[in-house]
A and B are shown apart, each in its own frame.
Chain A
Amino acid sequence: MTTTSPGPAGALGEAGPHRRTPADRDAALRARRITARVVVGVLLAAYALVSAYPFLWMVSAAFKNQVEVVRGGHLIPHQPTLHTLTHTWSQLHFLRYFVNSVEVTAMTVVLTLAVYAAAGYAFAVLDFPGRKALQRLFVALLFVPGVTVMLPIVLVEDKLHLLGTHIGLVLPFVNGGAPLSILLMTGAFTAVPRELRESARVDGANEFHIFTRIYLPLTRPALITVALLTAIPTWNEYLLSRVSLNSPNTFTLPLGLQTLASENVPHYNELMAGALIVVVPVLLLFVALQRYFVNGLVGAVKG
Chain B
Amino acid sequence: MTTTPRTATTAVAGRPGTGRPAAQPATRTARRRGHEALSGYLFVAPAVVLFAVMGLYTVGYGLVLSFAQWNGFAPNWDWVGLQNYKDLLWANPEYAPEVRDAALHTLWVMIAVPLLTVAVSFPLAVLLNSARRMQPLLRSIYFVPYVTSGIAVFFAWQYILQPDGAINVLLKSVGLGSLSQPQGWLGNPHTALPTMIAVTVWGAVPVGMLMYLTGLQSVDRSVLEAAQLDGAGWWRTNASVVWPLVRPITSIVVLLNLRDSLQGFQTFLVMTNGGPGNHTNVLGLEAYRLAFLKQLAPTLGLASALGWLLFAAALVLALINLRVLRSRT
A52–B157 CA distance with the chains assembled, in angstroms: 11
Encode contact with B along A30-51: 1 for CB under 8 Å, 0 otherwise.
Answer: 0000001000110110011011
Chain A residues whose CB sits within 8 angstroms of the CB of B16 once the complex forms: 199, 202
Chain A residues whose CB sits within 8 angstroms of the CB of B145 once the complex forms: 51
A115/B46 in contact, CB under 8 A: yes
A53–B249 CA distance with the chains assembled, in angstroms: 28
A123–B214 CA distance with the chains assembled, in angstroms: 25
Given known pairs A57-B156, A61-B159, A204-B13, the reply for A174 and B50 (CB within 8 Å) is yes
A192–B174 CA distance with the chains assembled, in angstroms: 56
Chain A residues whose CB sits within 8 angstroms of the CB of B217 once the complex forms: 1, 4-5, 7
Chain B residues whose CB sits within 8 angstroms of the CB of A164 once the complex forms: none
Given known pairs A4-B217, A44-B138, A283-B148, the reply for A118 and B3 (CB within 8 Å) is yes
Encode contact with A along B43-59: 1 for CB under 8 Å, 0 otherwise.
Answer: 11011101101110111
List 19 interface pairs A-B (beta carbons < 8 Å), by A numbering.
Answer: A11-B234, A47-B120, A51-B141, A51-B144, A51-B202, A53-B160, A55-B144, A58-B156, A134-B48, A145-B314, A149-B307, A151-B291, A202-B13, A206-B7, A232-B147, A286-B147, A290-B143, A298-B213, A302-B214
A156/B7 in contact, CB under 8 A: no
Tell whether A104 is near chain B: CB-to-CB under 8 Å.
Answer: no
Encode contact with B along A254-293: 1 for CB under 8 Å, 0 otherwise.
Answer: 1001100100000010011011101100110011001000
Q: Which of B84-92, B107-115, B258-266 contacts A (4 or more CB under 8 A)?
A: B258-266
Chain A residues whose CB sits within 8 angstroms of the CB of B166 once the complex forms: 53, 57, 72, 75
Chain B residues whose CB sits within 8 angstroms of the CB of A149 once the complex forms: 55, 58-59, 62, 307
Give how many A-B residue pairs fall within 8 Å (CB-CB).
Answer: 333
Q: How large is the interface on A (under 10, 10 to 19, 20 to 34, 35 or more residues)?
A: 35 or more
A207–B35 CA distance with the chains assembled, in angstroms: 10
How close is B280's CB to chain A, nearest CB, in angstroms?
Answer: 16
Complex A-B, nearest 7 residue pairs according to Cβ-Cβ distance, in ascending order: A9-B130, A236-B150, A128-B40, A148-B307, A122-B43, A152-B62, A126-B40
Tell whether B79 is near chain A: CB-to-CB under 8 Å.
Answer: no
Starting from the known contacts A144-B55, A202-B13, 14 additional A-B residue pairs (CB-CB under 8 Å) come to A1-B135, A4-B129, A4-B217, A8-B219, A11-B233, A47-B142, A134-B48, A137-B51, A141-B55, A148-B62, A172-B54, A202-B16, A272-B159, A279-B153
A8/B237 in contact, CB under 8 A: yes
A54/B58 in contact, CB under 8 A: no
Chain B's closest residue to A290 (CB) is B140
> Which of A47, A51, A152, A268 lies in contact with B159, CB distance below 8 A?
A268
Tell whether B76 is near chain A: CB-to-CB under 8 Å.
Answer: no
Q: Which of A21-29, A79-87, A92-100, A237-245 contacts B (4 or more CB under 8 A)?
A: A237-245
A147/B124 in contact, CB under 8 A: no
Given known pairs A141-B51, A254-B151, the reply for A44 and B270 (CB within 8 Å) is no
A54–B19 CA distance with the chains assembled, in angstroms: 57
A107–B157 CA distance with the chains assembled, in angstroms: 30
B5/A208 in contact, CB under 8 A: yes
Tell whether A224 is near chain B: CB-to-CB under 8 Å.
Answer: no
A72–B155 CA distance with the chains assembled, in angstroms: 16
How close is A66's CB to chain B, nearest CB, in angstroms?
Answer: 14
B5/A72 in contact, CB under 8 A: no
A61–B153 CA distance with the chains assembled, in angstroms: 13
B160/A44 in contact, CB under 8 A: no
Would you call the interface of chain B mostly helix, strand, loop, or mixed?
Answer: helix
Tell whether A213 is near chain B: CB-to-CB under 8 Å.
Answer: no
Chain A's closest residue to B199 (CB) is A54
Given known pairs A1-B136, A128-B41, A151-B291, the reply for A239 and B314 (CB within 8 Å) is no
Tell whether B96 is near chain A: CB-to-CB under 8 Å.
Answer: no
B307/A119 in contact, CB under 8 A: no
B210/A134 in contact, CB under 8 A: no
Chain B residues whose CB sits within 8 angstroms of the CB of A171 once the complex forms: 50, 53-54
Tell whether A183 is near chain B: CB-to-CB under 8 Å.
Answer: no
Given known pairs A5-B217, A10-B130, the reply for A151 and B6 (CB within 8 Å) is no
Tell whether B325 is near chain A: CB-to-CB under 8 Å.
Answer: no
Tell whether A248 is near chain B: CB-to-CB under 8 Å.
Answer: no
Chain A residues whose CB sits within 8 angstroms of the CB of B132 once the complex forms: 4, 6
Tell whether A150 is near chain B: CB-to-CB under 8 Å.
Answer: yes
Chain A's closest residue to B146 (CB) is A232
A238/B51 in contact, CB under 8 A: no
Tell whether A121 is near chain B: CB-to-CB under 8 Å.
Answer: yes
B144/A283 in contact, CB under 8 A: yes
Tell whether B179 is near chain A: CB-to-CB under 8 Å.
Answer: no
B150/A126 in contact, CB under 8 A: no
Chain B residues whose CB sits within 8 angstroms of the CB of A286 once the complex forms: 140, 143, 147
A254–B269 CA distance with the chains assembled, in angstroms: 13
Chain A's closest residue to B313 (CB) is A145
Chain B residues whose CB sits within 8 angstroms of the CB of A1 once the complex forms: 135-136, 217
Chain B's closest residue to A271 (CB) is B155
How close is B184's CB to chain A, nearest CB, in angstroms?
Answer: 12
B58/A119 in contact, CB under 8 A: no
B147/A145 in contact, CB under 8 A: no
Chain A residues whose CB sits within 8 angstroms of the CB of B249 once the complex forms: 301
Tell whether A131 is near chain B: CB-to-CB under 8 Å.
Answer: yes
